[in-house]
Structure 1
């Protein structure tokens, strides 16, 4: 069984070559938390609908800026591809989880608002149901207002750190679950993973 995962796009500096890549942290994460599944890294040169018969769920990983923040060919290529993934996941009822950049593209797709915030990078505390959890942070642009179809699940001051779609199995987290301090608060991941397992059993 496979969980599809989008990759960071990088441009090699010593000669012209675009590369797709995932941090080794993701292999460790799958080994620990998704033992019965294998990651299926997505290539930006293969249409996502070709992967659909093989996947039980999808993760949009971190890395890169949104093209609305930095209008580069890499960011445009990634945003275009991941927007198509969102459409396909809705159409085919595939549970979708966005991580950092993945959360940003989901929120942008559903008409949310962003704002640059200095000093946001680093570990910090979130409050959920009057409980405090430590999470990591590697982004400078925060989600400050969600689109009408989305519902906030965790916040820090004016930054929305986790949310879900009100109707579809779409979930998002602004911290990196695959890195240190990524799973102190894991409710959103657990809800998404439950939907993945339910899809497998159908």
Structure 2
């Protein structure tokens, strides 16, 4: 079974003075169902000072030890909300590019892929706690939990699906095995067969 590195959201717990990494157990289950071994990656392996100086960098050591064969950028947190997570995911994308690894970006993860390629985000309404019917190369009904959307398709990518109101819901890189989905496949009561099949195809069974 292929090992998949999975990024984690950051939950701030003020009463305990803690910043906790968190991962929905349903995402772990989805990856297992698809035939992969998920390994959560801690935020904070690579930290910088505000002026860009490196505090410590153990991310390469982690990647060498785990040797992931694919990467999932999970949902949660807005870009810019947690610098440790932003830095971690940016480095993961650099690693994936240099090693030609498959990447799936889920919700914020898709936004992070677009952001890393110079794409712009915009606020969007009507996309939180609702469902959409997709059109395009992916035709399906999916959930929606995001308040930001892609302003346009980043260079080097194509749009795979749009919602009824024309917002970009899925993208694919034209040369790298990278996809972004704005929906959360792990949050369905029963995992959609089209999501599982597409995940297997992207990562390679």
Q: TM-score, normalised by structure 1?
A: 0.84
CA RMSD of aligned residues (A): 1.9
Residue of structure 2 aligned with 1:82, choices 86, 89, 92: 89
Aligned residues: 186
Gaps of 5+ in 2: 46-57
TM-superposition CA deviations, 1:147-178 (whole Å, max 9, x none): 21111111113311111111112111111111
**Maintained 8 Å contact 2:32/2:38:** no
**Maintained 8 Å contact 1:173/1:188:** no
The 5-angstrom pairing of residues 28-177 of structure 1 reads 28-34=29-35, 37-46=36-45, 47-53=58-64, 54-67=67-80, 72=81, 74=82, 76-121=83-128, 122-129=130-137, 132-156=139-163, 157-177=165-185
**Maintained 8 Å contact 1:4/1:42:** yes
Gaps of 5+ in 1: 198-202
Tell me how far 1:132 sits from its aligned partner: 3.9
